[in-house]
Structure 1
């Protein structure tokens, strides 16, 4: 049997855990809801239970298990800690040490554990088995309740010194814009994330409730919905072009809930990109829709396979 690694994907609403082989095949797996609690141990409990459940039938004596953890951020990869914006109970939470302890409890052997942000794992997953599997270098972008990203350069994750590189949602695309929750002004996320576009449309008199309704109405020709998406995709295009220009990247994969709307999102995004990606080496920047439903989990597995066992 080929080696299996343990992949852990931690988000604000769910925690997914699976054994994954070197072809991307899933073995034992489970998904647990992320508790809404102010207690760090209460939030971690389902993650620990999920790891125990997935490892319950793994044969003993197979050497140290390699484990990849993908998490909402910010992360601190050198310290092995996370402080997810959408999990208030975890600030500087030692997720690497806590997961390692559970794995050692079950297997009897200390594992080798790696940590990356969820946007980085999305990029790794789409690069390994998804829309960018035919290129060596790419940017992966998740557009949903936020805007997250990661980059694979020459077949290696570009993590940065702290593990937070390519935080595209918090690149300023309007230096004179309103202050973002991160403290900066006019961040990409303020215009392009789903809830931001919904709020902007509602301020203009649109009566829908969520991004799915907004994109559906835009597809049907609603003027307000189309205007707001136009503004959001222009901001996103500016952020993508800036990142691609700095990293010298020609392929971008876009996933997340907003991206699933199809041409109503991708047509204005590609059109505006032509206004911002103007230097010769990014002029042919290609934007591809994501193809994996579980890119984050598979990306955590891809991370694990890079660890020295």
Structure 2
């Protein structure tokens, strides 16, 4: 019952062979490159080979993709992959692996589902009462979101339920690639944080020798924030305030219990999580919002892969 899990992000694609126990038997990650469709084909060809599909063979494919998407049509239009607009992702994978069932959901929905299945939240869920909700947020090249209710992803009619990255938190803010103004993604995504920091003197804030050989990216920004560079810390504070506003909006609307944060920017750990928790505590009004728990995913970069696998494994007999 080995399943192939695929995680489609704005800058990288990942895939893994996953057993029903949660064991990952093979894993591969590739940068998106200039031709996202070619990268997808290479990814599948390199990982779905004889000898890597388990004793019983490959039985299905689960895909978590950056959005927006349309699960009914099997199409995706990731904001950060301009060449994919209403791209028939489910069909493309089906053509690469004929006769296998393919399930599609948002990347953050899969991240939350993976946390529920294999992460620390799942270990707590049994004691959380009869109605349990988990909001997953991927903070990376873009910002995605998804909701899991009682162990099942809530997708909505098109599959975009919980897409928190495109809640507007600044009516006078920048125009988002999605076409709206002041989306969370324009403030709190990795590239947005870097653009703001550079525009506010980030590179001038550190000694030139420190930049030798360093990429100017969110990882470097996080390193500077950890070192106490003021403009880098302020970039993370702005991101945390925007994320906190969006999280509390979702929690107020849907009475969410728990939030799990994943993605490359979330890998900065306390550099993001401490000001984010502070922002939520500062902004929370109604009593029920004070019970909200916000954690980084316990599964790291594999959270979305576990969730994509769970999309398929949940449909198969044990």
- TM-score interval w.r.t. the shorter chain? 0.7 to 0.9
Report the CA distance shift for 1:89/1:221 in structure 2 as closer, same or farther (over 3 A).
closer
Give 1:277 deviation, angstroms.
Answer: 2.6
Unaligned 5+ runs, structure 1:
105-109
* Equivalent in the alignment of 1:168: 164
Q: How does 1:145-160 map to 2 (within 5 A)?
A: 145-160=141-156
Report the CA distance shift for 1:225/1:24 in structure 2 as closer, same or farther (over 3 A).
same
| Alpha-carbon distance in 1 for matches of 2:309, 2:30 | 18
* Equivalent in the alignment of 2:253: 246
- 1:93 is aligned to 2:93: no
* Equivalent in the alignment of 2:303: 295
* Equivalent in the alignment of 1:21: 19
Please tell me the root mean square deviation across aligned C-alpha atoms, in Å: 2.4
- Do 2:30 and 2:39's aligned partners in 1 also have CA atoms closer than 8 Å? no
Give 1:142 deviation, angstroms.
Answer: 1.4
- Do 2:107 and 2:138's aligned partners in 1 also have CA atoms closer than 8 Å? no
Report the CA distance shift for 1:278/1:82 in structure 2 as closer, same or farther (over 3 A).
same
* Equivalent in the alignment of 1:132: 121
Which one of 65, 72, 76 corresponds to residue 66 of structure 2? 72
| Alpha-carbon distance in 2 for matches of 1:88, 1:231 | 27
Give 1:138 deviation, angstroms.
Answer: 0.9
Could you say what secondary structure the match of 1:88 adopts? coil
Decide which moves more: 156-165 or 205-214.
205-214
Instruction: Please report the TM-score for the alignment, with normalisation by the length of structure 2.
Output: 0.84
* Equivalent in the alignment of 2:213: none
- 1:256 is aligned to 2:263: yes
Report the CA distance shift for 1:112/1:248 in structure 2 as closer, same or farther (over 3 A).
same
* Equivalent in the alignment of 1:210: 217
| Alpha-carbon distance in 2 for matches of 1:30, 1:216 | 26
Give 1:308 deviation, angstroms.
Answer: 5.7
Decide which moves more: 152-161 or 7-16.
7-16
Give 1:14 deviation, angstroms.
Answer: 3.5
- 1:230 is aligned to 2:241: no
Count the aligned residue pairs: 298
Unaligned 5+ runs, structure 2:
126-131, 207-215
Q: Deviations over 1:166-196 (max 9, x none)?
A: 1111101122333222122211111111222
Decide which moves more: 237-246 or 178-187.
178-187
Could you say what secondary structure the match of 1:53 adopts? coil
- Do 1:114 and 1:307's aligned partners in 2 also have CA atoms closer than 8 Å? no
Which one of 259, 280, 285 corresponds to residue 278 of structure 1? 285
Report the CA distance shift for 1:16/1:211 in structure 2 as closer, same or farther (over 3 A).
closer
Q: How does 1:91-130 map to 2 (within 5 A)?
A: 91-104=85-98, 110-130=99-119
Report the CA distance shift for 1:243/1:202 in structure 2 as closer, same or farther (over 3 A).
same
Q: Deviations over 1:214-267 (max 9, x none)?
A: 222222222222222222211110011111221211211112222222222222
Report the CA distance shift for 1:44/1:129 in structure 2 as closer, same or farther (over 3 A).
closer
Which one of 185, 196, 200 corresponds to residue 200 of structure 1? 196
Could you say what secondary structure the match of 1:27 adopts? strand
| Alpha-carbon distance in 1 for matches of 2:149, 2:53 | 37
| Alpha-carbon distance in 1 for matches of 2:197, 2:96 | 46
* Equivalent in the alignment of 2:210: none
Report the CA distance shift for 1:78/1:285 in structure 2 as closer, same or farther (over 3 A).
same
* Equivalent in the alignment of 1:6: 4
Instruction: Please report the TM-score for the alignment, with normalisation by the length of structure 1.
Output: 0.87
- Do 1:259 and 1:289's aligned partners in 2 also have CA atoms closer than 8 Å? yes
Report the CA distance shift for 1:94/1:180 in structure 2 as closer, same or farther (over 3 A).
closer
Report the CA distance shift for 1:15/1:268 in structure 2 as closer, same or farther (over 3 A).
closer
* Equivalent in the alignment of 2:211: none
Give 1:43 deviation, angstroms.
Answer: 4.3
Report the CA distance shift for 1:143/1:13 in structure 2 as closer, same or farther (over 3 A).
closer
| Alpha-carbon distance in 1 for matches of 2:43, 2:179 | 31
Could you say what secondary structure the match of 1:132 adopts? helix
